[in-house]
Amino acid sequence: MGLLSNRIDRSSLKPGDHIYSWRTAYIYAHHGIYVGDDRVIHFTRRGQEVGTGTVLDLILVSSGPSRGHTHCPTCVPPNEGHGVVSSCLNCFLAGGVLYRFEYSVNAAHFLAKARGGTCTLAVSDSNDIVVHRAKHLLQNGFGCYDVFKNNCEDFAIYCKTGLLVLEGRTMGQSGQAVSIIGGPIAAVLSTPMRLVTTNVYGMAATAVGVYCASRYATDIGMRADVAKVAVEDLTRRLSSGLFQVIDSPLAAISLPSTS
Q: What is the CATH number of the domain that holds 27?
A: 3.90.1720.10
Residue 225 inside a domain? The answer is: yes
Tell me: the pLDDT tens digits for 189-215? Answer: 444 444 445 555 555 555 555 667 677
Give the model's confidence band at 185: pLDDT under 50 very low, under 70 low, under 90 confident, else very high: very low
* More confident of the two residues 194 and 98: 98
Beta-bridge mates of residue 126: none
Amino acid at 152: C
Q: Are 220 and 187 in contact (CB under 8 A)?
A: no
Q: Which of 118, 174, 146, 119 is nearest to 252 (CA)?
A: 146
pLDDT number for residue 214: 72
The answer to which of 77-86, 157-166, 222-231 has the lowest mean pLDDT is 77-86
**What pLDDT is stored for residue 79 in this prediction?**
59
* β-strand partners of 225: none
Q: Which domain holds residue 226?
A: 10-175+219-240
Instruction: Answer whether residue 249 is part of any domain.
Output: no
How far is Cα 61 from Cα 141, in angstroms, rounded to an integer? 22
What is the CA angle 135-85-73, rounded to 5?
120
pTM of the entire predicted model: 0.74
Give a yes or no: residue 103 inside a domain: yes
More confident residue, 255 or 84: 84
pLDDT digits (tens, 9 = 90+) for 15-36: 999 999 988 677 788 999 999 9
- pLDDT at 65 > cutoff 70: no
pLDDT tops 60 at residue 93: yes
> What is the rounded average pLDDT of the residues 65-81?
61
Q: How many helices (H) and strands (E) does the chain have?
A: 8, 9
Q: Is residue 199 part of a domain?
A: no
How many domains are there within the chain?
Answer: 1
Most confident option among 29-33, 82-86, 94-98: 29-33
Catalytic positions, written as ranges: 30, 42, 152
